[in-house]
Structures are given as C-alpha cells and as structure tokens.
Structure 1
Amino acid sequence: MALRLADGTAWSDTLARAVAATPEAFGPEADGVITLHNLVSGQWQAVGTPSAVRTPVDNTVLVNLPRLDADTARAAVAHAAAAHRDWAATPLAERKARVTEALDALTAHRDLLALLLVWEIGKPWRLACADVDRALDGVRWYVEEIDRMLAGGREPLPGPVSNIASWNYPMSVLVHAELVQLLAGNAVIAKTPSQGGAVCLTVAHALMRRAGLPATLLSGSGEELSEVLVRAPEIGAVAFVGGRSNGGKVAAALLDTDKRHFIEQEGLNAWGVWNFSQWDLLAAHLKKGFEYGKQRCTAYPRFVVQRD
C-alpha cells in the first residue's frame, strides 16, 4: 500500500526544516544522506563512525548517526565535568532564565520536534505532540517551583548527570529530565538511544546549547560507552530509563561505588511517598499504578510509604 503524506510532511521536507533550524548540528550530505554531529566539548563536532538510521515508517534511511568510541566519550565527560563546576556556581536566577530561553525555543519548534518523532520512531501524530508537550509543560512547572525545592541549602551534585534512556519517549523522559537537572545546577550528558529519536534530540540539544546550557549529546553503542557513562569518576549521578537487562547491567556496574543513581526498569520501580497527607486518596493512586503495570505487561510497581 502506497504511503500517503500530507503536504510538507515528507522526510525530505522535515529534515530540511531541522537543518534550517539548527544547521550547526548537521554535517554535509554524502551519497544522498546527511550525517548528524555529536555535541561534545561544548560544540557540535563531526566525530564518530557513521551508521545508517532507518525509519519504521517505510524502512528508508533517514540520516547517518556517528557512533563514538570510548576514548572520545571520556574526553567529552571530562569537559562536561569542568562545565559542571561553572554551572553549579551560576546563580539560580540565571539558570532559570537560560532554561526558560531554551523552553521558548523548543516551543517555537514544537511541531517540527513532533514530526521528527513520527518519522524516527513511528509515533502517531497526537502521541508525538503529547511527548513534546509533556516535556515543555513539565519543565515550565519546575521553573516555577525550583526555588522552593532548593530551599534549605540543597546543592548541585559533585559532577554532571549521565542520562541513558529508552527510545520511546525522547522528549518527555530524556529532555525533560535534563532540563530539570540543569535547573538544579547540574551539567548533563545524554546518550542518543540507538533505536530512534536521534534527529529530534539533536535539534532539541542544539536549541538548548544556544541558550547557554551545559549539555552533551553522545551517540554510540551501549557496550562501547556504558563503562564511561556509568563508571567515569567525574559523573555525579546516573539516570537510567530502559529495559531490565540493560538496567541490571547498570545497577551491577554501580554496586561497588557510592555514585548516586536512579534506575527505571520496565515497571520494576519502587515508589517512595513522603509527607503524604491525602491518605483517603492513596488507595486510588496505588490501584492506578498496578493498572499501569498491567497495561505495559510488566511487573507491578512496588510502593514504599513513610508516614510521619
């Protein structure tokens, strides 16, 4: 069956919009395919071994994604650690202003980011829009609440946060987490998911970088980069969202360290509830969590409740 596209939504049109919006993040065309850059050491660089990225829509090649080796990743982490020290000392008011600037730029390109997700991971249009909107709306809420959250002398982490996330929610999971981490005074490092979302994340991080945010975006195999992005001594914390197998490997790699980490493994999550006052509503919240686990065909979440 022939693929029917609305005017202006073909991949060639969508990619042209992405390149026009953030030309610094894209390399020249070679053999009819554009190669993405990696955001390392504070700038977009043509480094890595190109690998073709195909769309689940019709299996055609979208772009080339350059995969980095461990040595290049180590250098990027070292640079991110230096940027983290400067960012951690940046006043909260300035951090909020820069994150808000990034949010405004992302909002201006909302439809482009959503359309990239349609092509890259096969999200239906409405779900792609929801993924972008949840990220933007969620971070704007944190911008309003971050002063209260950091009250009492809470300090940034000792090093940048390393983010490894699954392919299915590039904006509402990965970019959302990074922007909140940046608000809290931490530089961020993100690994591009191998299964999709590379162009969307590239455009998003280019807009974040333009706003002066200390973000790093690396691409490469988990086997090649995991040791660096999880165990490098400069890393202040690891945030992982993905499958149980890879999550288990990350957890095992952190067993002999005191590095802070957050790991979500396909529903194998502990839920902590502190200072919770609406006890008449708690049962309904628990029930929703179990129903969500059923919908994902995963193990039910476990809950830990502390009542003062």
Structure 2
Amino acid sequence: MALHLAPGTAWADTLARAVAAAPEAFDRTTDGHVTLRNLAEGEWRSIGTPSAVRTPVDNTVLARLSRVDAGTARSAVAAAATAHRAWAATPLAERKSRVAAALDELTAHRDTLALLLVWEIGKPWRLACADVDRALDGVRWYLDQIDRQLAARDPLPGPVSNIASWNYPMSVLVHAELVQLLAGNAVIAKTPSQGGAACLTLAHAVMHRAGLPATLLSGGGEELSEVLVRASEIGAVAFVGGRSNGGKVAAALLDTDKRHMIEQEGLNAWGIWNFSRWDTLAAHLRKGFEYGKQRCTAYPRFVVQRELVDAFLDVYLPVIRSVRFGHPSPSTPPGGPATHCPSSTSAR
C-alpha cells in the first residue's frame, strides 16, 4: 500500500518548522544541508566536525550533527560551572518563573518536537506525542511541589552532567534537566549518539531563550565521557543507558565522591511458569509492540515452562500476526491519526 504522509509532516517540512522556531541553533550550508549547532559557553556555536544523521525509517540523511572533541567539551564544562554559581544564587521564585516560561514555549512546539522524534528515532506518532507530554506534565508537577522539596536543601556544588539513552529524549533527558534547573543546578547534556539530536536542539533553544543555564554537546561517548563524568567542576552525573556504558561510568566514579544516578537498562526476558492468565499476557505483548519496541519492558525473549509452550504459542502467534508495520508518522488516508498531538497523551 502506498504511503501517504499527512500534509506538513514530511521531514523537510518538519525540519523547516524547527529551524524557523529556533534559527540560532541551526546552520544551513551552501549545499542545502542543515547542521545542528552545539550550545556551549552560553551561546549556540558552529563548532565540531559534522557527521551525517540518518533516520532509522529509511536510512536517508536528515541533517548533520557537529561532534565536538574533549578539549571543546572541557571548555564548555568550565563555562557551565561559572553559570552554575550564578544560577545557584538565583531565588527559587525566579527559577520557577523561567522554567514555567520554557514549558509554555515547549508546549507551543509540541507537534514539531513529536514529529522530530518520529523521523529521528522512528517512534510512532502517538507515542512521540506521549514522550513530549510526559516531559511537560512531569515538570509542571515539580513546579507545584518544588518549594517543599527544596526545604533545607541547597544546590549541588557544580552543574549536573546528563548522559541518557536515545529512546526517550524528552521524557527522560529534558524532563530531568528542567527539574535539575528548578533545584538550582546548571545542566549539561550530551546528545545521544543514536538519535534525537534535532528534537533536543529545539528543546534546548527554548530553554536557552528562557534564560536557563543549559549546555548541549554532541560527540562520541568514549571521547567525551572522561570530561562529562570526571571533570572536577561536575557536581553530579545522571546516566540512563545500557549496561556496558553504565558500567564504564560507574567505574570512572569509583575513586571520586561525586554524586551520581545510574540507571542501566537492558533487554530482559519474561519468565513464564505456573501461569494461566493468558488474556493478560496477550495485552502485555501488544503493549510491547505499541511502544515500537522502544522501552526496556518490551522484552524480546521468553523463557517458558516446557508444559506451557503450546499454550504460550496459542497466545503469542496471533498477537504477532496482528501487529501492523509501517511508517511511524501521521498518515492519510485512510484512517490516519490526527496531525496534531491530542490535548493529553501522557501516562499518569
């Protein structure tokens, strides 16, 4: 069946919307390509070595990402530490006002942020909307609660370095940064190597315009990890990602007293034995595919009690046959989803 993208949702249209919303964060080269800038030392900078960003949808080049080296990252961390000291002394009321302003503008760009995720990481449209909404709704909750949460608590001694996986750029990475900013900490984020760079560029442009001390760097994990994890100016490290890289981060912190939060994800297995609630299992299986296999609970392996294999297959195979594969973007016709995120798609 032929693919019919909804009007205005093709990549060229989506990227044009992002560039129009935050022209300071993008470079357009003479050959027509768009290169994403790095947010470092308080401004968007054309630094680093450009490399192609490809979509998992069909492997075409979406844009170019400028990857910085360790020396550039070190200068950015030093500048972030200076910004952190000023931000930590900023009254909470002012911090709340700026974060609220960022939330308002991010909300205005919800559709664009979600469409960027569709193309950059192949996240289905409805789930891309949910990723954006979880970030915005979650931070709004913190805005209401932050006064009591910060009672008798001070900001960290330096900025928080955020290294996160690619599958939830908004609801994991941006959400965490905005809460850290509320708490009086400057933030540094590394763009995930596997996707989400344009979405994060637009989101950080909004944060920067609101006067929030955020740094966004792109580059290889091996080269930047020493700086973003071990630099003396870093007040804390927040890592979300695979077990291998998480283990390396943990090892790098062993001889330090640096605060850290490490969530190591992996592809786990379901264990099924002494089981009879097959209708419940069918619903879980469908949910795994609903998320485009982009969550850590969308397990790809099953360890099944030998006596239950036939019953398991009677449930599993029909679910697999019912799964529809196709382009993750809003499509029309027939019966395609709306081309605007619904008023609320976040899970509560």
Fold agreement, TM-score > 0.5: yes
Query: Deviations along 1:102-136, whole A, 9 cap, x unmatched?
Result: 00000000010000000000000000000000000
Q: Judge which range, 1-10 or 175-184, deviates more.
A: 1-10
Cα distance, 1:32 vs structure 2: 2.7
Structure 2 residue identity aligned to 1:251: A
Structure 2 residue identity aligned to 1:29: T
SS in 2 for 1:65: strand
Change (3 A) 1:104 1:294: closer
Structure 1 residue identity aligned to 2:68: L
Runs of 4+ in structure 1 off by over 6 angstroms are none
- What is the CA–CA distance in structure 2 between the aligned matches of 1:126 and 1:37, rounded to whole Å? 28
Aligned counterpart, 1:47: 47
Cα distance, 1:2 vs structure 2: 5.0
| Ranges in structure 1 where 5+ consecutive residues have no aligned partner | 269-287, 299-308
Structure 2 residue identity aligned to 1:214: P
Cα distance, 1:4 vs structure 2: 2.7
Aligned counterpart, 2:94: 94
Cα distance, 1:66 vs structure 2: 0.4
Aligned counterpart, 2:126: 126
SS in 1 for 2:184: coil
Kindly indicate whether residue 22 of structure 2 is the aligned counterpart of residue 22 of structure 1.
Answer: yes
Please give the residue correspondences for 1:223-242 in structure 2 after superposition, counting only pairs within 5 Å. 223-242=222-241
Cα distance, 1:297 vs structure 2: 5.9
- What is the CA–CA distance in structure 2 between the aligned matches of 1:80 and 1:297, rounded to whole Å? 40
Higher relative contact order (CA 8 A, sep 6+): 2
Aligned counterpart, 2:219: 220
SS in 1 for 2:219: coil
Aligned counterpart, 1:306: none
Aligned counterpart, 1:285: none
SS in 2 for 1:51: strand
Cα distance, 1:28 vs structure 2: 1.9
Please give the residue correspondences for 1:78-227 in structure 2 after superposition, counting only pairs within 5 Å. 78-151=78-151, 153-227=152-226
Structure 2 residue identity aligned to 1:143: L
Change (3 A) 1:164 1:294: closer
Cα distance, 1:57 vs structure 2: 1.2
Conserved 8 A contact 2:49-2:66: yes
Structure 2 residue identity aligned to 1:14: T
- What is the CA–CA distance in structure 2 between the aligned matches of 1:134 and 1:257, rounded to whole Å? 33
Aligned counterpart, 1:245: 244
SS in 1 for 2:4: coil
Q: Judge which range, 30-39 or 107-116, deviates more.
A: 30-39
Cα distance, 1:293 vs structure 2: 7.1
Number of equivalences: 276
Larger Rg: 2
- What is the CA–CA distance in structure 1 between the aligned matches of 2:255 and 2:97, rounded to whole Å? 38
Change (3 A) 1:261 1:83: same
Aligned counterpart, 1:303: none
SS in 1 for 2:29: strand
Percent of aligned positions with the same letter in both sequences? 81
Change (3 A) 1:293 1:6: closer
- What is the CA–CA distance in structure 1 between the aligned matches of 2:266 and 2:139, rounded to whole Å? 23
Kindly indicate whether residue 58 of structure 2 is the aligned counterpart of residue 58 of structure 1.
Answer: yes
- What is the CA–CA distance in structure 2 between the aligned matches of 1:264 and 1:23, rounded to whole Å? 34
- What is the CA–CA distance in structure 1 between the aligned matches of 2:72 and 2:205, rounded to whole Å? 20
SS in 2 for 1:263: strand
Aligned counterpart, 2:31: 31
SS in 1 for 2:207: helix
- What is the CA–CA distance in structure 2 between the aligned matches of 1:174 and 1:111, rounded to whole Å? 18
Structure 2 residue identity aligned to 1:264: E
- What is the CA–CA distance in structure 1 between the aligned matches of 2:6 and 2:110, rounded to whole Å? 18
Query: Deviations along 1:79-107, whole A, 9 cap, x unmatched?
Result: 00000000000000000000000000000
SS in 2 for 1:196: coil
Cα distance, 1:33 vs structure 2: 1.2
- What is the CA–CA distance in structure 1 between the aligned matches of 2:67 and 2:142, rounded to whole Å? 33
- What is the CA–CA distance in structure 2 between the aligned matches of 1:232 and 1:94, rounded to whole Å? 29
- What is the CA–CA distance in structure 1 between the aligned matches of 2:39 and 2:241, rounded to whole Å? 22
Aligned counterpart, 2:261: 262
Cα distance, 1:173 vs structure 2: 0.1
Cα distance, 1:31 vs structure 2: 2.3
| Ranges in structure 2 where 5+ consecutive residues have no aligned partner | 268-283, 289-294, 302-348
- What is the CA–CA distance in structure 2 between the aligned matches of 1:56 and 1:30, rounded to whole Å? 26
Conserved 8 A contact 2:242-2:266: no
Structure 1 residue identity aligned to 2:46: A
Aligned counterpart, 2:335: none
- What is the CA–CA distance in structure 2 between the aligned matches of 1:100 and 1:188, rounded to whole Å? 17
| Root mean square deviation, CA, Å | 1.8
